[in-house]
Structure formats: C-alpha cells, structure tokens
Amino acid sequence: GGLLNTATQCKIIVGVAGLSAAQLAKITFTGYIPGASITASGELVPFVNAYFSTGSVAPNVLTNWKTERDGTGTSPANFTSGVFFVIQNTHTMTTSANWSVSGTNSKVWIESGGSLVANNPISLAASSTLQIEDNGTYIHNNTGTPASTIFAGTENFGSKSNFIINNWVNNNTAFTTGV
C-alpha cells in the first residue's frame, strides 16, 4: 500500500540528471501522452514535442527551431500542432513578422536567461500558454490588441520574470486583468 496523492498544480524539481530514461518513460501526467522529460532547470514536465531556439534569431521562422537543444534535429512543419517552443538561456529571439502559435497544449516557453522581443504581434490560441521562467524576459514592442494576441491563452509567469512594455495598442487599453 501507500498513499495516493493528486494535485492540479505544482512543480516537481528532480535536478537535471535526476531520473533515468527508463524512469521517465514510466511517468504519466493526466491529459498527456505517457512519458516525461526534465527541463534545463531540473523541472519534471510531461513529454511533449518540443522545439528549442537555435540562437538569437526570429521565432516566426520554422527553421530557427530544432528538436535538440544544441541546434540539431528537425524543425517543426508548422506552428499549429500543439507543441512547446522553448527559448533557451542566452538567446534573444525577435519577431520579424506576426507569429501565431496554436494547437492544444501549445506553449511559448521563455527559460531563465532567455528573451523574446515582440516587434510584431504574437498570437496565442486560447489553448496555448505563455510561460516566462524567473529571469526570463518578454518585451512587448507592438500595437497588436493584447487580449487577442499575447494574452489570448494562459499566462504563467515566474515571480522574478520580466515583462517589459515599450509599445502598446493605445492609451485607452488597460493592462489585461488577472495577469
């Protein structure tokens, strides 16, 4: 026997080399395919298709994302398949055109030390998440309507993350309630 505990929100930190591949394959998160992975910060997360930034390049270009952190692997076929787009530490990605991310459970994830500069609107679907880790930075520098672009999905900001507004839709639009 043992205790069965459930939670709806939490972070599980196991360390970067905390579990073997065989152990990770046995973990199941509700609503995700079986398996888990460990982020660069040591957080245990559901196994998902993830693409990593390849440098300080435009996020709206498919070839600027790869399946491996070292810039190797394959690029996504589109931005609509419900995958994670992870901006890595030391990378500052700056939009060169509008960027739309959609698909169930899709996520734009800015890791600690990573930055995303939105010179053009970044549109997230209602089922998408914008996640900014502590010491990660998002710079809003466009006049897209926030409620239908960057704040259209779910926001998950670390308490020490940075959200900088250099340009906004107009002087009459308040910062989104509940963010």
Q: Is 179 a residue whose pLDDT tops 60?
A: no
pLDDT tens for each residue of 67-107: 888 999 899 999 998 889 999 999 999 999 999 999 888 99
CA–CA distance, 51 with 106 (Å, rounded to integer): 11
Q: What is the pTM of this model?
A: 0.75
